[in-house]
Every structure is written in C-alpha cells, then in structure tokens.
Amino acid sequence: MSILMALPVISAMKKQWKYKPVDTSAVQALQVELGVNATMAKLLYLRGVKSKEQADKFFNPSFDDLHDPYLLKDMDLAISRLETAISKGQRILLYGDYDVDGVTSVSLLYSFLKRYTEHLDFYIPDRYKEGYGLTLQGVDYAKQNDVKLLITMDCGTTALTQIQEAKAKGIDVIVLDHHLPVDELPPTVALINPKQTDCPYPFKDLSGCGVTFKFAQAYAAHLGMPRRALIPLLDFVATSIACDYVPIVGENRILATFGLHQINHNTRVGLKALIARTNYTYPFSISDIVFGIGPYINAAGRLSDGKEAVRLLLAEDWLVASEYANILRERNTQRRIFDRKNLAEAIKVWESNEHHSKVPIVVLFQANWHKGVLGIVASRMAKHYHKPAVIMCESNGEIVASARSTPTIDIHELLKQSEHLLTTFGGHPKAAGFSMPPENLEALTRNLLQSMQGVSAAQQTPTLFIDSELELKDITPKFMEELHKLAPLGPGNPNPLFVCENVEVAGPIRYIEKNSIRLLVAKENSKRFKAVGFRKGDYIDQINSQEFAMCFKIIESVWKGEKQLQLQMKDIFEGEIKQPLPISTSELKEEE
C-alpha cells in the first residue's frame, strides 16, 4: 500500500484526499467469488455488494425486485379514495411543483389515470405569483372547478394551512411526497411519504416521481394489472431521479435502469422532440439527463409557466410536441442569460467583502435578482466557495430564497433552527427553499452565522473520497468493459474516483476556455492518455516540472460517431505528506 493510501493528504488545490475504507480480506474473498480484478472487487464492495447474490442483483436490476407499494403508510387509504373518485365520476386535480420532479410526477400520473377517468385536470403553481408547494391559489382553483379529490406530488407534507383550507372547502387531499416531514402533519385522507418516521417502507430515498409511481403501481395491483404494464412510465421516473439527485441505489437503481431503457429505446414523442433540440445524442445516461434534459424542463417553471413542460411530456402529436419543445428551448436560452448575470453579480457582491474567505456561509440578498435562477446561483456559489450558500431576492413583498450546501453540511438542519423566522420552508440536507418577511433578514443572517460556528474545520474543507488506486497501464478495454457495468452512475453510485502516483506530462499542455487545460499524461511504460483539467489552469507549474499524484475519473465521450476515452483530472498532489486525516463512516454517508 502506498503512503498516499495510508495517509489522506491536503493537495495543492487545498482539498483533502481520503480513501473510502474497505475490509481487505472481504474484498479479496469477493474477488475470488466473482472472478473479477482487485479494483472491480473493491468498487463493488464500496457499493454494498458483498456476495455473488448481491452482485447478481446489482448487475441485473429486476422489475420484480421492487417493493410492495402497499408497504407505504396510508397507501390502502389513498387507493380506496382514488377508486371512489373514479367510480363516482368526481373531478380529480393533480398538483405538482414546477421543478423536474413535480412536472414528471404530474405527467406520469396524468398519463396513467387518463385511461380510467375523463374527469382529470392538472395544476402547476406560478413561481412568481404563488411560490412553490401547495398554494392557497391552487386550492381556490380546485374549488372553482368542483374538484373533490386533490392529489399533490413532490409537495404537501408541510402544507398544513393549505390542506386545512382544502378540507374546509370540501376537498379531500392525498399527498404523494418525499420531503422531510415537520412535527405537525396536515389533515389529509392519506399522506404517502417514505420519510415519515412511522412508515415501514424499506427504501426511504425515492424521488417525488418515484413515490408517484408507487401510487400508480398500487392502483395497478388493485386493478389486477400485470406489474410490467407500468414500465413505459419509467422514463418519467428516471428523469426525476437524475434531476433530483436522489441516490441511485436499491429501488432507484432498478427504476433508473428501466427508465433509461425507455428513454433510449422507446422515447415518448415529447422527450424525442426536446432531445432533438439539444446537443446530446443517444444513448442517454443519468448525467445526460441532468445536463441535457433537466434544464429545459426546469426553465419552463423558472421563467414562465411550468404547465408548458407538462404539455410537452404529455404530447402525442409531433407538431404539438415540437411547438412546446421550441418554447422550452427559448425559455432555457433566457434562463442562461439571467443565470450568468445574477451569478456574476453575486460573486462581485460576495468578494467585495475583504473578509469573505473567513465567513463560513454565503448569505446574499438583492431585491432585483431573478427568482427563477436563485437555486442555480446558490448551487454555483456553494460549489465555487465550498460553503453553504443562501441566495435571496424580493417577490410580492416577501423575501424568497434558495439554499444549497456542500456534501458534509446539512443546510436543511441549519435553516430549521431558524424556522420561526420563515413563512414557508422545505427541502433536503443539500438543498432547501424558503420565504420570509423582509424584516427577518438580519436575524436569519445572524442565526445562520451562529449555527455555522458548530461546524468543524474539516467539514468546511473540500474533500475527495477516493475509491481506489489505479495504474494507468491497467486502464484497458477489458477494464472499461467491467467499469461500464456499474452504470447507471450518479449519487450513491458515483463514477469512481481513482488515484495514480508518479504521473508525468507526456506532451504539450493546451489552454482551453474557463482556465481549463488539455494535456497528455503517462507513467513509466504506460500508453499516453488524454486528460482534461477543468479550471486547473493555475496549477500548471505543479504538473509541468515533476512527477505528481493525480486524482481522476475516467470519462467517455462520442465525437463524430467514435468513442473517446479521457481522464478527468479532479486534483493533483505534489510534495511531502505531513498529516494523517482519518475517514469516518459518517463522512462517507454525507459524501454519498
């Protein structure tokens, strides 16, 4: 074992390198049992695969391994109420948030239920007039349209006031959600959320659309339909899994695998029209969905009307789909303009404080920032400065905000400590949103700074969790064939991060845009590999004059129909190693 593996280090780019812990004897036993190389055995072990049986399930996801949807608390109550609504011809309103998860949820359930009832409508709230989540305006719409059953998706768990209002108006509510519950739950007919502490469902990390699919799966079972009849709906679920960054493990791995197959082999008309307007080509991966499809769907709700995205996904006619795809393309172009402008302003405001590097959390407010791109700006700020970011603007007399965090800091928990200052609030450990009265801005800022005092210096230092050492000579076609079997890749099952020591530059270094570089690297007698270092232009001196240790991922791209392999340089290390930094299981869980 190298000294690098024994002692996690602080690199030239001020990042911690830490190796994910493994039981060496267990890895060796797994290698023998599966007949794979040592690196693949380690990668599988780190992904929870400890036996041949588990490996078979990992490599061959089966639709039959999905959990019984009736294990979700209240599912029987929800299906009973849905059956009553359909049998009595009552109007049903499908309500979803305006992001990808909400839009795909509404699209999935509408596509499924339209064959059983014609008394069906959908509603996506207006980001600017209403805000996120179930709104009173949405409840009023339901009442005005004689809705008797309101089904919320990707929202509703914390909508106490709104659901009380719906109940007062004679509207029953079923909540299909995956956001963290609060102490007091709303008066629903059924609240289906695997994150409820008393919900026995064995898999807790479904996306909002995943929960919606389980609802459809339960009704299909109620009707006696074959389980596999629902597979055509899984393109919606795969899209939500990718764009909502839920872990691609367990049930999500099964849903994502079948959903990707639908996208790549049986693309619905709306998605096909949208893909035709992107720079992406088949086959689509999880990453391709995140960057090639998600921004277009999100752009509808960010800048205008999220219903446009639903209409695109529901379109069955190519001309209709093309019309909505063109609209979303224009919305996304506009979104990019606002994104770049607001991000540049945020960086300028933040760095105008000469002490900004010592402030542990980014908290910025500008009344005129575009509400639709707050989340994007917060995400970029959190990544750039490696600290939580809360980005706020003014909307309809209130402050609205999006918050994003680093892998080791729970932004939802930080904000929950100030929940008494907020009007609305919800989210996850890595992402949250809220609104509040303008007069609470100073108190919130003070509270967040105080809460960050309890965060350790190690948590605030960027950390790379390394899967394994890998010699360049071992990157062979056979190895790549094995590596491909880990897909679909994403949170919980990331593209492996490798380290190779004593690497040297094997050709000229070429600058590309955004302070990035392209180069050739090699080690001893290995072949030369193409490498790219995004935003690594400042570190040429460290790699151009001596051997160095390189932390990297292996990525493949298609150029003019030909597959190209390159190493994505994530970090480098050179110099004397001085301090050991032990890794903990909790750190690993936070990183995933």
Query: Angle between the 52-59 and 24-34 helix axes, to the nearest 10 degrees?
Result: 70
The pLDDT value recorded for residue 559 is 65
Token pair of 101, please? 């998860």
> Which tokens go with 234?
């899984």
Position 129 scores a pLDDT of 86
CA atoms within 13 A of residue 454's CA, in its CB half-sphere: 9
Q: What is the pLDDT of residue 486?
A: 97
Q: Output the pLDDT for position 558.
A: 66
**Residue recorded with tokens 């039981």:** 23
pLDDT digits (tens, 9 = 90+) for 180-232: 898 899 999 999 999 999 999 999 999 999 999 999 999 999 999 998 999 99
Q: With a cut of 70, which residues of the chain have pLDDT below it?
A: 1-14, 545, 558-561, 574-592
Report d(CA 224, CA 212) in Å as an integer. 18
Edge-to-edge, what's the strand order for the sheet holding 431-436? 362-365, 389-395, 398-404, 431-436, 424-427
Average pLDDT, the chain: 91
Q: What separation in angstroms does the CA of 539 have from each of 47, 521, 529, 532, 548?
A: 32, 15, 19, 13, 11
Whether 465 and 586 have beta carbons less than 8 Å apart is answered as no
Instruction: State how far the Cα of 111 lies from the Cα of 193, in Å rounded to an integer.
Output: 22
